[in-house]
Structure 1
Amino acid sequence: MMKRRFQTLFLAALATTAVLSGPALAAVGAWTEGDRARVRLLAGGLDDEGALMGAIEIELAPDWHTYWRSPGAAGIPPNTDFSASGNLRDIAVRYPVPQRYDDGYAISNVYDGRVLLPLVIDAGDDAAPVDLRLSLDIGVCHDVCIPEHFDAALEIPSGATDAEAARAIAEAWKLIPGPPEPGVLAVESVARSGGTDRHPEYVVTIANAGGAPAEVFVEGPADWYAGVPEPMPDGKDAAYRVVFDRLGAKTPIDAAQFVVTIVTPDRAIEQRLGPD
């Protein structure tokens, strides 16, 4: 039920972005083709706070997938580099909720089909064009996994808008987790419960007032690998046990910060916090 809900939202985004495959416009970049995927940049006007909204659009070959920012037991996280851009003060990349994929050997967090990664673009000079240049490295997998590199570009004139691109980006934002809702859907605590320094174990306790089935993704420091959280009944709240692998990690346990994403059939939240 939960996966069908987010698949429905994802298909809505696909239906919207499908109309963008025509000639490049001022706010729609050209496709950069790879072996099993292709990539382009979109821009869709300003948000309510005056930030320029954009997206990285990734279209994958049938039966191939790529990975979330935290890939899980296998896979390559995306690496985005906008350092060659012009008139760009700052840029943030947002990631929609992934699907869990079990190939019989490992469980990974993936995207398939077509995915849009929304961008929040801060121009250095609002009156001048933004020369957006992306260097992107991703892993794509089917029976084998291969690295793919893409260089995509889009010059965005000041005030440029494209209704179709804006609509596609708006649909993509519907798949982005929102802020926590205390007492409704939120993380109550992340506490170490045992394990070893190599494999520390934590319990993540959430508030889930609606009682709907929840899927939980837990990320630790970049040099820690997180296993799949396992639910532990805990009264009216829900508790999840997660074990990390710190092989080769330099981030000390007492300095660990966590990002927890909670997904239910009708909402998703993302929360950053430290250990209790």
Structure 2
Amino acid sequence: MRKNITSALTAALWGGTLSLLALPVSAQSVPGQSGPGQSASGLGDIAQVELLPGWRIAPDTHMAALRIRLAPGWKTYWRAPGDSGIPPRFDWTKKEGIAAQQVYWPTPKVFDTFGLRSVGYKGDVILPMKFTTTGEGEDLTVEGRVDLGICEDICVPVSVELSQTFDADLTTPDPAIQKALAHQPDQAAIRNVSCEIGSTDEGLSLAARIAVPPLGAEEFTVFELPDKSIWIDEATSSREGDVLLARTELVAGDGKAFPLDGGDIHITVIGKDGAAETRGCTTG
């Protein structure tokens, strides 16, 4: 079953044990450096990773970003990376002056590798990150580890340790971060979504009617849930005019039955001409 293949692939890559796709090394741990614009290197010509200092967009809110510079031909992955992708992981062990944080995801691309599709990015990747402060006018400090899968014909699981202080007096917007924020999936293009939920031998089936204008060739639908232990199969998609029909199956990690609330379903449609996303669908 594809679920078992995907789970084994992800586990093997993070364990550094996949001999056919991974380099003959275990997951690489790369130390970061403090200070604005410093990069975490050590991956040769494959990638450089850094925290961009950003700017204070309000007295209690700071916009920064994670920047990943990839060599030509290499890619990294979106939050829902598909069957052959490796999801990024953020583990901030130190957050001084930070009450909350949010990652913004620019529109990704869909890749086909050895017959398996994945979702992610190539080139210069910027993931904006918004930090809410515990008090107005405070400097912020973040420190921790980012785990990434970086792949070409081979895959390298990478752990990057980063630290950064975000000064409260930084007030000039960063055009690169602004561009990434503007390149997110359209959250107004999907007019409504209706879902039918059924039972299968192993879990649930989900069929969605998504009212969204065509987004270009090779439309790819991604379903997400807050509970990441639930496996979601790659969806099949077809069109009836301005309605996209998407179907998938879901299986709990423990193999047991589980409830599915339509309001928890996050849907993203990615096409050659753009992307759209929405949260929630009506069921019945």
The two structures have a TM-score, normalised by structure 2, of 0.75
Give the match's secondary structure for 2:55: strand
CA contact (8 A) 2:235 2:248 kept: yes
The answer for the alignment partner of 1:92 in structure 2 is: 102
Q: Deviations over 1:1-39 (max 9, x none)?
A: xxxxxxxxxxxxxxxxxxxxxxx997x330011423221
User: Are 1:153 and 2:163 an aligned pair?
Assistant: yes
CA contact (8 A) 1:29 1:154 kept: no
The answer for the alignment partner of 2:224 in structure 1 is: 219
Q: Deviations over 1:154-190 (max 9, x none)?
A: 2122121345xx11110010122243x3xx5234122
CA separation of 1:118 and 1:207: change in aligned 2, threshold 3 A? same
Q: Cα distance, 1:271 vs. partner?
A: 1.7
The answer for the alignment partner of 1:205 in structure 2 is: 209
1:156-235 to 2 correspondences below 5 Å: 156-163=166-173, 166-179=174-187, 181=188, 184-192=189-197, 194=198, 196-208=200-212, 210-213=213-216, 214-220=219-225, 221-234=227-240
The answer for the alignment partner of 1:261 in structure 2 is: 268
User: What amino acid is the match of 2:210?
Assistant: I
CA contact (8 A) 2:38 2:51 kept: yes
Q: Distance in 2 between matches of 1:260 and 1:143?
A: 29
CA separation of 1:48 and 1:39: change in aligned 2, threshold 3 A? same
The answer for the alignment partner of 1:144 in structure 2 is: 154
CA contact (8 A) 1:73 1:225 kept: no
The answer for the alignment partner of 1:135 in structure 2 is: 145
> Which structure 2 segments of 5+ residues have no match?
1-32
Give the match's secondary structure for 2:87: coil
- Name the count of aligned residue pairs: 245
User: What amino acid is the match of 1:78?
Assistant: P
Q: Distance in 2 between matches of 1:271 and 1:114?
A: 26
User: What amino acid is the match of 2:207?
Assistant: V
User: What amino acid is the match of 1:191?
Assistant: E
Q: Distance in 2 between matches of 1:244 and 1:95?
A: 24
Q: Distance in 2 between matches of 1:249 and 1:161?
A: 50
The two structures have a TM-score, normalised by structure 1, of 0.77
Identity in percent = 25
Q: Distance in 2 between matches of 1:88 and 1:170?
A: 21
Q: Cα distance, 1:49 vs. partner?
A: 8.4
Q: Cα distance, 1:122 vs. partner?
A: 0.8
User: What amino acid is the match of 1:56?
Assistant: L
Q: Cα distance, 1:248 vs. partner?
A: 3.5
1:80-119 to 2 correspondences below 5 Å: 80-119=90-129
CA separation of 1:84 and 1:251: change in aligned 2, threshold 3 A? farther
Q: Cα distance, 1:73 vs. partner?
A: 0.6
CA separation of 1:86 and 1:197: change in aligned 2, threshold 3 A? farther
CA contact (8 A) 1:34 1:149 kept: no
Q: Cα distance, 1:121 vs. partner?
A: 0.9
Please give the root-mean-square deviation of Cα atoms over the aligned residues, in Å. 2.8
CA contact (8 A) 1:66 1:140 kept: yes
Give the match's secondary structure for 2:277: strand
